[in-house]
Chains A and B, each alone.
Chain A
Amino acid sequence: MARAKFQTLTEQMFYILLCLRQECCGMDIMEKVRKMTGDRVNIGPGTLYNLLDQFSQAEMIVETKVEGRRKSYILTETGKEALQAEYERICVQAADYRHYMEVQENEKGET
Protein backbone atom coordinates (compact mmCIF):
# COMPACT_ATOMS: atom_id res chain seq x y z
CA MET A 1 0.00 0.00 0.00
CA ALA A 2 2.64 2.45 1.10
CA ARG A 3 4.81 1.72 -1.90
CA ALA A 4 1.87 2.32 -4.22
CA LYS A 5 1.06 5.63 -2.53
CA PHE A 6 4.64 6.87 -2.58
CA GLN A 7 5.59 5.28 -5.90
CA THR A 8 6.91 8.63 -7.04
CA LEU A 9 7.71 11.38 -4.57
CA THR A 10 6.90 15.04 -4.91
CA GLU A 11 9.76 17.48 -4.54
CA GLN A 12 8.64 18.23 -0.99
CA MET A 13 8.43 14.56 -0.03
CA PHE A 14 11.86 13.99 -1.49
CA TYR A 15 13.48 16.75 0.54
CA ILE A 16 11.73 15.82 3.78
CA LEU A 17 12.97 12.26 3.43
CA LEU A 18 16.42 13.52 2.51
CA CYS A 19 16.52 15.64 5.68
CA LEU A 20 15.52 12.64 7.72
CA ARG A 21 18.49 10.54 6.66
CA GLN A 22 19.82 12.06 9.85
CA GLU A 23 17.70 12.31 12.96
CA CYS A 24 15.90 15.65 12.81
CA CYS A 25 13.12 17.42 14.68
CA GLY A 26 9.99 17.87 12.62
CA MET A 27 9.89 21.60 13.28
CA ASP A 28 13.41 22.06 11.97
CA ILE A 29 12.73 20.41 8.63
CA MET A 30 11.18 23.52 7.04
CA GLU A 31 14.29 25.56 7.73
CA LYS A 32 16.66 22.76 6.76
CA VAL A 33 14.96 22.22 3.38
CA ARG A 34 14.92 25.95 2.71
CA LYS A 35 18.68 26.17 3.33
CA MET A 36 19.40 22.93 1.48
CA THR A 37 17.68 24.19 -1.66
CA GLY A 38 18.78 27.84 -1.42
CA ASP A 39 15.18 29.00 -0.87
CA ARG A 40 14.01 27.19 -3.99
CA VAL A 41 11.81 24.73 -2.13
CA ASN A 42 9.61 25.84 0.74
CA ILE A 43 7.45 23.45 2.67
CA GLY A 44 4.31 24.84 4.25
CA PRO A 45 3.72 23.87 7.88
CA GLY A 46 0.37 22.23 7.08
CA THR A 47 1.94 20.17 4.34
CA LEU A 48 4.92 19.21 6.51
CA TYR A 49 2.71 18.07 9.37
CA ASN A 50 0.57 15.95 7.07
CA LEU A 51 3.47 14.43 5.19
CA LEU A 52 5.28 13.45 8.42
CA ASP A 53 2.04 11.85 9.57
CA GLN A 54 1.67 9.96 6.28
CA PHE A 55 5.33 8.86 6.25
CA SER A 56 4.94 7.60 9.82
CA GLN A 57 1.84 5.63 8.91
CA ALA A 58 3.62 4.17 5.90
CA GLU A 59 6.54 3.28 8.22
CA MET A 60 8.95 5.26 6.07
CA ILE A 61 10.06 7.27 9.10
CA VAL A 62 10.05 6.50 12.76
CA GLU A 63 9.82 8.70 15.83
CA THR A 64 13.07 8.71 17.77
CA LYS A 65 12.62 11.31 20.48
CA VAL A 66 9.79 13.34 22.01
CA GLU A 67 10.70 16.46 23.98
CA GLY A 68 7.50 18.26 24.87
CA ARG A 69 5.88 18.72 21.51
CA ARG A 70 9.18 18.48 19.63
CA LYS A 71 9.27 15.14 17.93
CA SER A 72 12.35 13.86 16.13
CA TYR A 73 12.26 11.38 13.30
CA ILE A 74 14.64 9.32 11.22
CA LEU A 75 14.27 7.31 8.02
CA THR A 76 13.49 3.61 8.22
CA GLU A 77 14.76 1.06 5.71
CA THR A 78 11.48 1.50 3.77
CA GLY A 79 12.01 5.25 3.72
CA LYS A 80 15.59 4.84 2.56
CA GLU A 81 14.42 2.55 -0.24
CA ALA A 82 11.78 5.06 -1.31
CA LEU A 83 14.31 7.88 -1.29
CA GLN A 84 16.84 5.80 -3.20
CA ALA A 85 14.20 4.78 -5.74
CA GLU A 86 13.24 8.40 -6.26
CA TYR A 87 16.86 9.43 -6.61
CA GLU A 88 17.37 6.73 -9.24
CA ARG A 89 14.25 7.80 -11.06
CA ILE A 90 15.52 11.37 -11.18
CA CYS A 91 18.95 10.14 -12.33
CA VAL A 92 17.36 8.11 -15.11
CA GLN A 93 15.42 11.20 -16.17
CA ALA A 94 18.61 13.27 -16.13
CA ALA A 95 20.45 10.58 -18.11
CA ASP A 96 17.62 10.47 -20.63
CA TYR A 97 17.84 14.23 -20.92
CA ARG A 98 21.58 14.20 -21.44
CA HIS A 99 21.35 11.40 -24.00
CA TYR A 100 18.63 13.14 -25.95
CA MET A 101 20.52 16.45 -25.96
CA GLU A 102 23.73 14.74 -27.15
CA VAL A 103 21.88 13.10 -30.02
CA GLN A 104 20.38 16.46 -30.96
CA GLU A 105 23.79 18.13 -30.84
CA ASN A 106 25.34 15.39 -32.97
CA GLU A 107 22.56 15.62 -35.56
CA LYS A 108 23.08 19.38 -35.75
CA GLY A 109 26.83 18.85 -36.18
CA GLU A 110 26.33 16.37 -39.05
CA THR A 111 24.05 18.72 -40.97
Chain B
Amino acid sequence: MRRGKLELVWSYYYDHTTMKRHFEKMAGKGWALDRMGIFWHYHRIRPKSLHYAVGYFPGGGVYAPPTGEELTFEEYCEMAGWELAAEHGPMKIFCNERENPVPLETQADIQVENIRRGSRRVRIIDATLGAIGWLILIYFMLNLYFDGVRTLSSGAGLFFAFVGLLLGIYGLVELITYQSWYQRAKANARRDLSFTPTKGHPVISKTILFLAIASAVFYALTATGGILMLAVAAGYFIVYYFQDIIRNRMRGKGANTAVNLGVNFVIAFLIFFAIFNGYQYFNFSDTAGEKYYEKKGFHWDGQEAPLTLQKLETPGFDGKGYVDTQNIQSSVFLSRMEIEEFYNESLSGAKGDPGYYLDYVVAKVKLPSLYGFARSSMERTYETGKNWQPLDPWETGEREEIHVCQTTLTRNNLQIFRYLLCMEDRIVKIDLSFAPDKEGQKMILEVLGEI
Protein backbone atom coordinates (compact mmCIF):
# COMPACT_ATOMS: atom_id res chain seq x y z
CA MET B 1 0.00 0.00 0.00
CA ARG B 2 1.40 3.38 -0.96
CA ARG B 3 2.32 5.56 2.00
CA GLY B 4 2.83 8.77 0.11
CA LYS B 5 1.46 10.56 -2.92
CA LEU B 6 2.64 13.46 -5.04
CA GLU B 7 0.54 15.76 -7.12
CA LEU B 8 1.80 18.58 -9.31
CA VAL B 9 0.30 21.85 -8.12
CA TRP B 10 -2.33 22.71 -10.69
CA SER B 11 -4.37 25.42 -9.04
CA TYR B 12 -3.76 29.14 -9.18
CA TYR B 13 -2.07 30.55 -6.12
CA TYR B 14 -4.97 32.80 -5.19
CA ASP B 15 -7.64 30.13 -5.73
CA HIS B 16 -8.08 29.09 -2.11
CA THR B 17 -11.62 27.77 -2.56
CA THR B 18 -10.60 25.21 -5.18
CA MET B 19 -7.60 24.12 -3.10
CA LYS B 20 -9.64 23.78 0.10
CA ARG B 21 -12.24 21.62 -1.68
CA HIS B 22 -9.56 19.52 -3.30
CA PHE B 23 -7.73 18.81 -0.03
CA GLU B 24 -10.99 17.92 1.70
CA LYS B 25 -11.77 15.52 -1.12
CA MET B 26 -8.29 13.99 -0.87
CA ALA B 27 -8.71 13.53 2.91
CA GLY B 28 -11.94 11.67 2.18
CA LYS B 29 -9.90 9.36 -0.04
CA GLY B 30 -7.30 8.83 2.69
CA TRP B 31 -4.64 11.37 1.71
CA ALA B 32 -3.62 14.20 4.02
CA LEU B 33 -1.51 17.10 2.79
CA ASP B 34 1.79 17.50 4.61
CA ARG B 35 3.89 19.90 2.51
CA MET B 36 3.89 21.81 -0.73
CA GLY B 37 6.19 23.39 -3.28
CA ILE B 38 5.73 22.61 -6.95
CA PHE B 39 4.13 19.39 -5.68
CA TRP B 40 1.47 18.75 -3.12
CA HIS B 41 2.89 16.00 -0.88
CA TYR B 42 0.36 13.73 0.82
CA HIS B 43 0.67 10.97 3.36
CA ARG B 44 -1.71 8.07 3.87
CA ILE B 45 -4.39 8.42 6.57
CA ARG B 46 -7.62 6.65 7.39
CA PRO B 47 -10.21 8.24 5.08
CA LYS B 48 -12.05 10.86 7.08
CA SER B 49 -13.71 14.20 6.89
CA LEU B 50 -11.17 16.96 7.49
CA HIS B 51 -11.61 20.68 7.13
CA TYR B 52 -9.02 22.66 5.25
CA ALA B 53 -8.51 26.39 4.98
CA VAL B 54 -6.01 28.33 2.92
CA GLY B 55 -4.78 31.49 4.56
CA TYR B 56 -2.37 34.13 3.28
CA PHE B 57 0.23 35.78 5.44
CA PRO B 58 1.67 38.61 3.33
CA GLY B 59 5.42 38.77 3.80
CA GLY B 60 5.83 35.06 4.55
CA GLY B 61 8.99 33.72 2.89
CA VAL B 62 9.80 30.53 1.00
CA TYR B 63 13.35 30.08 2.34
CA ALA B 64 13.37 32.61 5.19
CA PRO B 65 12.69 31.25 8.68
CA PRO B 66 9.25 32.10 10.06
CA THR B 67 9.11 35.44 11.83
CA GLY B 68 7.71 35.89 15.33
CA GLU B 69 4.60 37.44 13.82
CA GLU B 70 4.15 34.46 11.55
CA LEU B 71 4.45 32.07 14.49
CA THR B 72 1.97 34.14 16.48
CA PHE B 73 -0.48 33.93 13.57
CA GLU B 74 -0.02 30.15 13.47
CA GLU B 75 -0.63 29.93 17.22
CA TYR B 76 -3.88 31.87 16.92
CA CYS B 77 -4.91 29.36 14.27
CA GLU B 78 -3.87 26.46 16.48
CA MET B 79 -6.05 27.83 19.27
CA ALA B 80 -9.03 27.47 16.94
CA GLY B 81 -8.00 23.93 15.99
CA TRP B 82 -6.33 24.88 12.70
CA GLU B 83 -3.05 22.96 12.43
CA LEU B 84 -0.56 24.07 9.80
CA ALA B 85 -0.48 21.33 7.16
CA ALA B 86 1.68 22.93 4.47
CA GLU B 87 2.98 26.31 3.44
CA HIS B 88 4.65 28.02 0.53
CA GLY B 89 5.65 31.64 0.86
CA PRO B 90 2.70 33.66 2.09
CA MET B 91 0.29 30.75 1.55
CA LYS B 92 -0.50 28.67 4.61
CA ILE B 93 -2.74 25.64 4.42
CA PHE B 94 -4.40 24.62 7.65
CA CYS B 95 -6.25 21.48 8.60
CA ASN B 96 -8.90 21.13 11.30
CA GLU B 97 -10.37 17.91 12.70
CA ARG B 98 -13.14 19.59 14.69
CA GLU B 99 -16.66 18.99 13.48
CA ASN B 100 -17.75 22.59 13.04
CA PRO B 101 -14.66 24.72 13.34
CA VAL B 102 -14.68 28.49 13.44
CA PRO B 103 -13.58 29.54 9.95
CA LEU B 104 -10.04 30.85 9.58
CA GLU B 105 -11.38 34.12 8.24
CA THR B 106 -14.63 35.60 9.48
CA GLN B 107 -14.43 39.05 7.96
CA ALA B 108 -14.54 39.12 4.17
CA ASP B 109 -12.75 42.43 3.48
CA ILE B 110 -9.71 41.29 5.46
CA GLN B 111 -9.59 37.99 3.61
CA VAL B 112 -9.83 39.71 0.22
CA GLU B 113 -7.01 42.08 1.09
CA ASN B 114 -4.80 39.27 2.39
CA ILE B 115 -5.33 37.22 -0.74
CA ARG B 116 -4.53 40.23 -2.90
CA ARG B 117 -1.31 41.00 -1.02
CA GLY B 118 -0.31 37.37 -0.42
CA SER B 119 -0.70 36.27 -4.02
CA ARG B 120 0.70 39.42 -5.64
CA ARG B 121 4.24 38.15 -6.19
CA VAL B 122 3.09 34.88 -7.78
CA ARG B 123 0.53 36.71 -9.92
CA ILE B 124 3.21 39.09 -11.19
CA ILE B 125 5.48 36.14 -12.05
CA ASP B 126 2.61 34.33 -13.81
CA ALA B 127 1.61 37.47 -15.71
CA THR B 128 5.24 38.02 -16.78
CA LEU B 129 5.53 34.42 -17.95
CA GLY B 130 2.20 34.80 -19.74
CA ALA B 131 3.43 37.96 -21.48
CA ILE B 132 6.66 36.17 -22.47
CA GLY B 133 4.49 33.32 -23.78
CA TRP B 134 2.49 35.70 -26.00
CA LEU B 135 5.71 37.36 -27.22
CA ILE B 136 7.11 33.94 -28.16
CA LEU B 137 3.90 33.23 -30.03
CA ILE B 138 3.99 36.57 -31.86
CA TYR B 139 7.62 35.93 -32.79
CA PHE B 140 6.63 32.48 -34.04
CA MET B 141 3.76 33.90 -36.13
CA LEU B 142 6.04 36.51 -37.69
CA ASN B 143 8.56 33.79 -38.52
CA LEU B 144 5.76 31.67 -39.90
CA TYR B 145 4.87 34.50 -42.26
CA PHE B 146 8.39 35.37 -43.37
CA ASP B 147 9.87 31.85 -43.50
CA GLY B 148 7.06 29.37 -42.91
CA VAL B 149 8.98 26.30 -44.05
CA ARG B 150 11.96 26.93 -41.80
CA THR B 151 9.64 27.71 -38.88
CA LEU B 152 7.36 24.69 -39.34
CA SER B 153 10.29 22.33 -39.80
CA SER B 154 11.88 23.28 -36.52
CA GLY B 155 10.78 20.87 -33.78
CA ALA B 156 12.25 23.15 -31.11
CA GLY B 157 10.51 26.19 -32.58
CA LEU B 158 7.15 24.41 -32.63
CA PHE B 159 7.67 23.17 -29.08
CA PHE B 160 8.53 26.61 -27.75
CA ALA B 161 5.67 28.22 -29.64
CA PHE B 162 3.27 25.66 -28.17
CA VAL B 163 4.65 26.17 -24.67
CA GLY B 164 4.45 29.93 -25.26
CA LEU B 165 0.78 29.55 -26.19
CA LEU B 166 0.12 27.48 -23.06
CA LEU B 167 1.94 29.98 -20.86
CA GLY B 168 0.05 32.83 -22.50
CA ILE B 169 -3.31 31.16 -21.90
CA TYR B 170 -2.35 30.23 -18.32
CA GLY B 171 -1.36 33.82 -17.51
CA LEU B 172 -4.38 35.30 -19.25
CA VAL B 173 -6.88 32.97 -17.54
CA GLU B 174 -5.34 33.81 -14.18
CA LEU B 175 -5.45 37.52 -14.88
CA ILE B 176 -9.09 37.41 -15.95
CA THR B 177 -10.35 35.04 -13.26
CA TYR B 178 -8.44 36.81 -10.50
CA GLN B 179 -9.52 40.30 -11.54
CA SER B 180 -13.16 39.30 -11.92
CA TRP B 181 -13.10 37.55 -8.53
CA TYR B 182 -11.28 40.43 -6.83
CA GLN B 183 -13.69 43.10 -8.09
CA ARG B 184 -16.73 41.04 -7.07
CA ALA B 185 -15.24 40.00 -3.73
CA LYS B 186 -14.29 43.57 -2.85
CA ALA B 187 -17.75 44.86 -3.77
CA ASN B 188 -19.53 42.08 -1.85
CA ALA B 189 -17.35 42.59 1.22
CA ARG B 190 -17.98 46.34 1.14
CA ARG B 191 -21.72 45.94 0.60
CA ASP B 192 -22.67 43.31 3.18
CA LEU B 193 -19.40 41.73 4.37
CA SER B 194 -20.25 38.57 2.45
CA PHE B 195 -17.58 36.15 1.25
CA THR B 196 -17.03 35.42 -2.43
CA PRO B 197 -15.51 32.04 -3.28
CA THR B 198 -12.68 32.01 -5.81
CA LYS B 199 -13.06 30.13 -9.07
CA GLY B 200 -9.87 29.48 -10.97
CA HIS B 201 -11.18 27.07 -13.65
CA PRO B 202 -9.04 24.07 -12.64
CA VAL B 203 -9.99 22.19 -15.82
CA ILE B 204 -8.11 24.79 -17.86
CA SER B 205 -5.02 24.80 -15.65
CA LYS B 206 -4.98 20.98 -15.47
CA THR B 207 -5.30 20.73 -19.27
CA ILE B 208 -2.49 23.27 -19.74
CA LEU B 209 -0.26 21.34 -17.36
CA PHE B 210 -1.01 18.04 -19.07
CA LEU B 211 -0.41 19.47 -22.56
CA ALA B 212 2.86 21.12 -21.49
CA ILE B 213 4.20 17.84 -20.08
CA ALA B 214 2.91 15.79 -23.02
CA SER B 215 4.46 18.17 -25.57
CA ALA B 216 7.79 18.18 -23.70
CA VAL B 217 7.85 14.36 -23.65
CA PHE B 218 6.85 14.20 -27.33
CA TYR B 219 9.51 16.72 -28.31
CA ALA B 220 12.12 14.98 -26.17
CA LEU B 221 11.40 11.60 -27.73
CA THR B 222 11.36 12.86 -31.32
CA ALA B 223 14.01 15.60 -31.41
CA THR B 224 17.76 15.32 -31.75
CA GLY B 225 19.21 15.60 -28.27
CA GLY B 226 15.74 15.06 -26.86
CA ILE B 227 16.92 12.47 -24.33
CA LEU B 228 19.03 15.14 -22.65
CA MET B 229 16.05 17.45 -22.52
CA LEU B 230 13.95 14.70 -20.98
CA ALA B 231 16.68 14.05 -18.42
CA VAL B 232 16.89 17.75 -17.58
CA ALA B 233 13.10 17.93 -17.18
CA ALA B 234 13.18 14.86 -14.92
CA GLY B 235 16.05 16.46 -13.00
CA TYR B 236 13.99 19.58 -12.53
CA PHE B 237 11.19 17.57 -10.90
CA ILE B 238 13.65 15.57 -8.76
CA VAL B 239 15.31 18.79 -7.58
CA TYR B 240 11.98 20.30 -6.64
CA TYR B 241 10.83 17.12 -4.93
CA PHE B 242 13.85 17.17 -2.61
CA GLN B 243 13.73 20.94 -2.24
CA ASP B 244 10.08 20.80 -1.14
CA ILE B 245 11.14 18.45 1.66
CA ILE B 246 14.45 19.99 2.68
CA ARG B 247 13.41 23.63 2.35
CA ASN B 248 10.34 23.10 4.52
CA ARG B 249 12.26 21.13 7.15
CA MET B 250 15.06 23.67 7.37
CA ARG B 251 12.60 26.52 7.48
CA GLY B 252 10.68 24.76 10.23
CA LYS B 253 13.91 24.41 12.23
CA GLY B 254 14.62 28.11 11.85
CA ALA B 255 17.66 27.81 9.52
CA ASN B 256 18.54 31.19 8.10
CA THR B 257 17.75 32.11 4.51
CA ALA B 258 21.32 31.92 3.18
CA VAL B 259 21.90 28.44 4.63
CA ASN B 260 18.56 27.16 3.34
CA LEU B 261 19.20 28.61 -0.12
CA GLY B 262 22.77 27.30 -0.11
CA VAL B 263 21.79 23.74 0.81
CA ASN B 264 19.08 23.71 -1.84
CA PHE B 265 21.46 25.11 -4.43
CA VAL B 266 24.03 22.41 -3.66
CA ILE B 267 21.35 19.71 -3.97
CA ALA B 268 20.24 21.11 -7.33
CA PHE B 269 23.87 21.31 -8.50
CA LEU B 270 24.60 17.71 -7.49
CA ILE B 271 21.47 16.36 -9.16
CA PHE B 272 22.17 18.17 -12.43
CA PHE B 273 25.86 17.25 -12.23
CA ALA B 274 24.83 13.58 -12.00
CA ILE B 275 22.39 13.98 -14.90
CA PHE B 276 24.84 15.65 -17.30
CA ASN B 277 27.65 13.25 -16.41
CA GLY B 278 25.36 10.24 -16.66
CA TYR B 279 24.28 11.45 -20.09
CA GLN B 280 27.88 11.74 -21.22
CA TYR B 281 28.89 8.46 -19.59
CA PHE B 282 26.15 6.39 -21.16
CA ASN B 283 26.64 8.31 -24.39
CA PHE B 284 23.00 8.75 -25.28
CA SER B 285 24.11 10.82 -28.26
CA ASP B 286 21.60 10.33 -31.05
CA THR B 287 23.15 12.66 -33.54
CA ALA B 288 25.91 10.58 -35.05
CA GLY B 289 26.24 8.87 -38.42
CA GLU B 290 23.88 8.42 -41.31
CA LYS B 291 20.96 7.88 -38.96
CA TYR B 292 21.14 11.56 -38.22
CA TYR B 293 20.02 12.41 -41.75
CA GLU B 294 17.43 9.65 -41.81
CA LYS B 295 16.00 10.84 -38.55
CA LYS B 296 15.72 14.27 -40.10
CA GLY B 297 13.87 12.83 -43.08
CA PHE B 298 16.66 12.69 -45.72
CA HIS B 299 18.85 9.90 -47.00
CA TRP B 300 21.49 9.64 -49.72
CA ASP B 301 24.59 7.59 -50.40
CA GLY B 302 28.04 8.78 -49.51
CA GLN B 303 29.44 11.41 -47.19
CA GLU B 304 29.34 14.31 -49.61
CA ALA B 305 26.41 16.64 -50.05
CA PRO B 306 23.90 15.09 -52.47
CA LEU B 307 24.29 17.87 -55.03
CA THR B 308 27.46 19.88 -55.50
CA LEU B 309 28.94 22.20 -58.08
CA GLN B 310 31.37 19.37 -58.84
CA LYS B 311 28.55 16.93 -59.54
CA LEU B 312 26.82 19.43 -61.76
CA GLU B 313 30.01 19.32 -63.91
CA THR B 314 30.33 23.05 -64.11
CA PRO B 315 32.99 23.90 -66.73
CA GLY B 316 36.26 25.16 -65.27
CA PHE B 317 35.23 24.46 -61.68
CA ASP B 318 38.09 23.05 -59.60
CA GLY B 319 36.59 23.40 -56.13
CA LYS B 320 39.46 25.50 -54.75
CA GLY B 321 38.37 28.26 -52.40
CA TYR B 322 34.85 26.83 -52.03
CA VAL B 323 33.20 25.89 -48.77
CA ASP B 324 29.84 24.42 -48.08
CA THR B 325 27.44 24.72 -45.16
CA GLN B 326 24.42 22.65 -44.36
CA ASN B 327 21.43 23.02 -42.15
CA ILE B 328 18.93 20.24 -41.61
CA GLN B 329 15.90 20.27 -39.39
CA SER B 330 12.75 18.29 -39.07
CA SER B 331 9.42 18.32 -37.29
CA VAL B 332 6.21 16.30 -37.51
CA PHE B 333 5.07 18.58 -40.33
CA LEU B 334 8.12 19.20 -42.51
CA SER B 335 11.75 18.31 -43.07
CA ARG B 336 13.99 21.01 -44.41
CA MET B 337 17.54 20.81 -45.69
CA GLU B 338 19.63 23.69 -46.93
CA ILE B 339 23.06 23.29 -48.46
CA GLU B 340 25.09 26.20 -49.70
CA GLU B 341 28.35 26.04 -51.65
CA PHE B 342 30.11 29.31 -52.15
CA TYR B 343 33.50 30.84 -52.74
CA ASN B 344 35.27 32.19 -49.67
CA GLU B 345 39.04 32.47 -49.45
CA SER B 346 39.23 33.42 -45.81
CA LEU B 347 37.16 30.41 -44.75
CA SER B 348 38.67 27.86 -47.13
CA GLY B 349 42.25 29.14 -47.06
CA ALA B 350 42.66 28.37 -50.77
CA LYS B 351 42.49 30.41 -53.92
CA GLY B 352 40.24 29.50 -56.78
CA ASP B 353 37.79 30.82 -59.29
CA PRO B 354 35.04 32.81 -57.57
CA GLY B 355 32.61 32.42 -60.43
CA TYR B 356 30.16 29.81 -59.06
CA TYR B 357 27.47 29.62 -56.46
CA LEU B 358 25.01 26.93 -55.38
CA ASP B 359 22.39 26.99 -52.68
CA TYR B 360 19.40 24.73 -52.36
CA VAL B 361 16.58 24.23 -49.92
CA VAL B 362 14.59 21.01 -49.99
CA ALA B 363 11.33 21.09 -48.06
CA LYS B 364 9.71 17.67 -47.67
CA VAL B 365 6.08 17.96 -46.73
CA LYS B 366 5.01 15.20 -44.32
CA LEU B 367 1.44 16.39 -44.01
CA PRO B 368 -0.10 16.65 -47.54
CA SER B 369 -2.56 19.33 -46.44
CA LEU B 370 0.41 21.61 -45.75
CA TYR B 371 1.73 21.42 -49.31
CA GLY B 372 -0.07 24.55 -50.51
CA PHE B 373 1.08 26.50 -47.49
CA ALA B 374 4.69 25.33 -47.91
CA ARG B 375 4.69 26.30 -51.58
CA SER B 376 3.25 29.77 -51.10
CA SER B 377 5.51 30.26 -48.11
CA MET B 378 8.60 29.42 -50.16
CA GLU B 379 7.44 31.68 -52.97
CA ARG B 380 7.15 34.50 -50.44
CA THR B 381 10.38 33.75 -48.56
CA TYR B 382 12.53 33.54 -51.67
CA GLU B 383 10.97 36.26 -53.77
CA THR B 384 13.55 38.75 -54.98
CA GLY B 385 11.45 41.77 -55.78
CA LYS B 386 10.94 40.46 -59.29
CA ASN B 387 7.98 38.23 -59.96
CA TRP B 388 8.37 34.49 -60.23
CA GLN B 389 8.23 33.59 -63.93
CA PRO B 390 6.72 30.21 -64.86
CA LEU B 391 9.08 28.22 -67.07
CA ASP B 392 8.47 25.24 -69.30
CA PRO B 393 8.34 22.20 -67.05
CA TRP B 394 11.63 20.42 -66.45
CA GLU B 395 11.54 16.82 -67.48
CA THR B 396 13.37 13.71 -66.53
CA GLY B 397 13.17 10.28 -68.14
CA GLU B 398 10.81 8.41 -65.82
CA ARG B 399 9.56 11.27 -63.76
CA GLU B 400 6.57 13.35 -64.54
CA GLU B 401 6.90 16.99 -65.54
CA ILE B 402 7.90 19.29 -62.77
CA HIS B 403 6.47 22.79 -62.49
CA VAL B 404 9.18 25.39 -62.33
CA CYS B 405 9.25 29.08 -61.56
CA GLN B 406 12.25 31.28 -61.99
CA THR B 407 13.47 34.62 -60.80
CA THR B 408 16.87 36.27 -60.64
CA LEU B 409 18.96 38.17 -58.14
CA THR B 410 22.46 39.47 -57.71
CA ARG B 411 24.87 38.18 -55.06
CA ASN B 412 28.39 39.58 -54.72
CA ASN B 413 28.20 40.93 -58.29
CA LEU B 414 27.18 37.48 -59.49
CA GLN B 415 23.91 36.97 -61.27
CA ILE B 416 22.00 34.18 -59.60
CA PHE B 417 19.24 32.14 -61.21
CA ARG B 418 16.70 31.09 -58.64
CA TYR B 419 14.28 28.25 -59.34
CA LEU B 420 11.36 26.88 -57.42
CA LEU B 421 10.64 23.24 -58.27
CA CYS B 422 7.31 21.85 -57.17
CA MET B 423 7.49 18.05 -56.88
CA GLU B 424 4.98 15.60 -55.54
CA ASP B 425 5.99 15.58 -51.87
CA ARG B 426 8.49 18.39 -51.76
CA ILE B 427 9.33 21.87 -52.90
CA VAL B 428 12.86 22.74 -53.85
CA LYS B 429 14.40 26.15 -54.09
CA ILE B 430 17.72 26.23 -55.87
CA ASP B 431 20.04 29.16 -56.52
CA LEU B 432 22.64 28.72 -59.24
CA SER B 433 25.17 31.07 -60.72
CA PHE B 434 24.34 29.62 -64.14
CA ALA B 435 21.22 28.42 -65.95
CA PRO B 436 21.35 24.62 -65.96
CA ASP B 437 21.11 22.82 -69.27
CA LYS B 438 18.82 19.79 -69.84
CA GLU B 439 21.38 17.44 -68.26
CA GLY B 440 21.78 19.71 -65.27
CA GLN B 441 18.01 20.00 -64.85
CA LYS B 442 17.71 16.23 -64.99
CA MET B 443 20.40 15.77 -62.37
CA ILE B 444 18.87 18.36 -60.06
CA LEU B 445 15.46 16.70 -60.31
CA GLU B 446 16.84 13.21 -59.85
CA VAL B 447 19.09 14.02 -56.91
CA LEU B 448 16.88 16.45 -55.01
CA GLY B 449 13.72 14.51 -55.86
CA GLU B 450 15.11 11.31 -54.34
CA ILE B 451 16.88 12.31 -51.13
Contacts and interface: CB of A to CB of B under 8 A. Distances in A.
A49 B193 contact: no
Interface centre among A44, A45, A71 (most CB of B within 10 A): A45
A69 interface: yes
B319 to A, nearest CB: 79
Contact of A44 (B72, B75, B80): B80
What secondary structure prevails in chain A residues at the interface with B?
helix
B77 A46 contact: yes
Contact of B106 (A31, A42, A69): A42
A50 B58 CA distance: 11
Interface in B107-136: 107, 110-111, 114
Contacts of B400: none
Interface string B92-110: 0000000000111111001
Contact of B110 (A26, A30, A47, A71): A47
A43 interface: yes
A6 to B, nearest CB: 12
Given A10-B193, A30-B79, A30-B102, A46 B110 contact: yes
Interface in A31-65: 31, 42-51
Given A10-B107, A46-B55, A46-B111, A69 B77 contact: no
Contact of B72 (A31, A42, A51, A71): A71
Contacts, number: 63
A12 B110 CA distance: 12
Given A30-B102, A69-B71, A69-B72, A45 B77 contact: yes
Contacts of B55: 46
A54 to B, nearest CB: 8
Contacts of B104: 44-47
A34 to B, nearest CB: 8
A59 B77 CA distance: 24
A47 B106 CA distance: 6
A27 interface: yes
B84 to A, nearest CB: 11
Interface in A1-21: 10, 12
A44 B72 CA distance: 14
Interface string B193-228: 100000000000000000000000000000000000
Contacts of B106: 12, 42-44, 47
A26 B78 CA distance: 13
B6 to A, nearest CB: 28
Interface string B56-78: 00000000000010011101110
B377 to A, nearest CB: 58
B419 interface: no
B102 A43 contact: yes
B106 to A, nearest CB: 4
Nearest to B71: A69
A19 to B, nearest CB: 14
B140 interface: no
A24 to B, nearest CB: 14
Nearest to A53: B69
A25 B199 CA distance: 37
A43 B107 CA distance: 8
B72 A45 contact: no
Given A10-B193, A26-B76, A71-B72, A42 B110 contact: no
Contact of B105 (A10, A31, A47, A71): A47
Contact of B76 (A10, A12, A42, A49): A49
B82 interface: yes
Given A44-B104, A71-B72, 4 more contacts: A27-B79, A44-B80, A46-B55, A50-B110
Interface of B: 55, 68, 71-73, 75-77, 79-80, 82, 102-107, 110-111, 114, 193
11 contacts: A26-B72, A45-B73, A45-B82, A45-B102, A46-B104, A46-B110, A46-B111, A46-B114, A47-B110, A48-B76, A69-B75
| Cβ-closest 7 pairs across A and B | A44-B106, A45-B76, A42-B102, A45-B77, A46-B104, A45-B80, A47-B107
